[in-house]
Amino acid sequence: DGGITQSPKYLFRKEGQNVTLSCEQNLNHDAMYWYRQDPGQGLRLIYYSQIVNDFQKGDIAEGYSVSREKKESFPLTVTSAQKNPTAFYLCASTWGQGAADTQYFGPGTRLTVL
Amino acid sequence: AQTVTQSQPEMSVQEAETVTLSCTYDTSESDYYLFWYKQPPSRQMILVIRQEAYKQQNATENRFSVNFQKAAKSFSLKISDSQLGDAAMYFCAYWDSNYQLIWGAGTKLIIKP
């Protein structure tokens, strides 16, 4: 079955640690996205990548970093510079290089800072 | 900057009845796309319906339909014959020409059996 996988489902981080969230897709989609979701709010874009080896900052990129070395993979690192990282993180992908295509989402990762 | 507003934080409907969720947006563009996504308790985000602004006909997907009023910048979602499985958060989203989706804050839909 084609789809998007995210791991882990739950992640706990200590203060000052960097952590990496995994996102893999086997849909052969060109574009991939990382969103952050906080209670009572819509999704906010962290980073997106339209092609391999290229990515762009979204509205809330500070304290996060990404890489896109393979078409299938778009890992997100939450660095210690992110002051309030506790949130639900969603990864998405689209067929084309524009978000007008339907975005398909992974199941999400819940990150909690201890 | 484009914005998306969902003015109903929570709605409830009796099973088998019809409910309408509201969404308004602000844009200066003439060609764009609008989406409704559903997020059930599992938190998996699922596309419900999509509307292209240049199409005057309202999109329909089975029990889900939209009322797209371009001049009023309104994009409401109507759910007919509500089912228990429709209980979820519903998000309205606007496609930004900078390759971003702009999201509303969501409406929590409760289905009463």
Mean pLDDT, to the nearest integer, of A23-28? 95
More confident residue, A44 or B97: A44
Rounded to whole angstroms, how far apart are CA atoms A55 and A67?
Answer: 8
CB-side neighbour CA atoms (13 Å) of B106: 21
Q: What is the pLDDT of residues B13-33, one digit of tens each?
A: 999 999 999 999 999 888 889
**pLDDT at residue B73 above 90?**
yes
Q: What is the pLDDT of residues A40-62, one digit of tens each?
A: 788 999 999 999 999 999 999 99
User: What residues of chain B, 14 to 43, have a C-beta less than 8 Å from chain A?
Assistant: 33, 35, 42-43
Give chain B positions within 8 Å (CB) of A44. 103
Beta-carbon separation of A99 and B105 below 8 A: no
Task: Output the pLDDT for position A111.
Answer: 95
Which one-letter amino acid corresponds to residue B96? D
Say if CB A55 and CB A68 are below 8 A apart: yes
**pLDDT at residue A98 above 90?**
no
Residue A99 pLDDT level (bands cut at 50, 70, 90): low
Give chain B positions within 8 Å (CB) of A92. 45
Task: Output the pLDDT for position A100.
Answer: 67
**pLDDT at residue A27 above 80?**
yes
> Per DSSP, which regions of chain B are E strands?
3-5, 10-14, 19-21, 24-26, 33-39, 46-52, 60-61, 64-69, 74-79, 88-96, 100-103, 107-112
Beta-carbon separation of A107 and B35 below 8 A: no
**Closest CB to A90 among B45, B104, B105:** B45
Mean pLDDT, to the nearest integer, of B1-8? 90
Beta-carbon separation of A100 and B95 below 8 A: yes
Q: What is the pLDDT of residues B36-49, one digit of tens each?
A: 999 999 899 999 99
**pLDDT at residue A15 above 70?**
yes
**pLDDT at residue B12 above 70?**
yes
Per the omega criterion (within 30 degrees of 0), is the bond before A39 cis? no
Residue B66 pLDDT level (bands cut at 50, 70, 90): very high
**pLDDT at residue B1 above 80?**
no
What integer best gives the mean pLDDT of chain A?
Answer: 91
